Structure 1
Amino acid sequence: QTSAGSDLLQRLQHLPASYEATPQVIAAAADTVHPQGVVALAYWPRIPPGKTGLILVVDTVQDPGNLGTILRSAEAVGVAQTLCSVGTVDVYAPKVVRSAMGAHFRLSIEQDVRWDEIGERLAQVDHVYAADPEARMPYYAADWRQPSALLVGNEAHGLSNAARRLATKQITIPMRGRAESLNVAVAASVILFEALRQRMLGRS
């Protein structure tokens, strides 16, 4: 046992609900092959929406790693709120949480949001941009300094009809290679960081 592990064990022993468990119990509670030896049951924090004027809508993204990466990027750029539509992978699935690298504790996230509710949330947003490989408007031509929302779609099928109906403009990431499209997490990250650039430096 490392010195860090011994120090953690001493701290945990002073908690009112701390119990020593057998390796079998730890293995049953953890979802990894080689867990670190500590598992806990806790309520997820509910983070209120921020005030940056940038909303991210995730439309039925299925891969846990993709969603976790999207959440990590959203938190990094200061997205005010992330809305995950009905049909999106569980926001709190272990692989999502690991990929998000702590974003759950700092980012306002709602899951299983119906499209009528999403429409109500976006009613006051000036620009609702939908990421679409077939669009003609490059993502950097959008004015992200205004209250905006970004919609990103499913890995295989792209944006749903419900998402397209809410979009005021469709944007794309220009590419020179032969790839048809980028991974949804990569595409979302590229666009989100352009939004941050414009908000920090002005549109130039």
Structure 2
Amino acid sequence: MRVLVAEDQGMLRGALSALLDLEEDIEVVGQAEDGEEALEMIRSLKPDICVMDIEMPKMTGLDVAEKLWADKHPCLVVILTTFSRAGYFQRAMKAGVKGFLLKDSPIDELSAALRNVNAGKRAVSPDLALSFWEAENPLTEREREVLRLAREGLPAGDIASQLFLSAGTVRNYLSEAIQKLDAKNRIDAIGIAEKNGWLD
């Protein structure tokens, strides 16, 4: 199978590519250092699978996956992450990502995952799977919008005018979000939502 490796840390990208290239049935056809370059190389080199870091400059791994999904591109995506964030996982599944693995997984686990994905299966690190399935995003889209604006430091009145709501309604949304997240206040609620990837 032909594989592209997209990772912004040069040493890790090189090591990962070299280790994968040692596998008899895997050929690393290219290496990208950011999301934009990964997208260009996927389109020009047409690899079977792209192994992508989630956090990259210019475009994240999830941005690239969403673009490929929208374009109905046949390249399969396997995401590597250090982040156990349920929001990322849910977004990845919606974008047709076939694999979601921890960066510190052994190379044998990654190779096996790539073979499974190439055979039409999904591959998710067991350590990630349980925490992801248990953590569903409890916030409505409107509550997320209000929290995003609150994260920018806007008071209720300014958030209200941006969303064409009354200040009282905004305070109600904030109160609901704080309650749902079992947070102490709005700052705490924003922190909890961010940690889980629910504001992305």
Give the structure, 1 or 2, with the largest relative contact order (CA under 8 Å, sep 6 or more). 1
* Structure 1 length-normalised TM: 0.30
- The structure where helix makes up a greater share of residues is 2
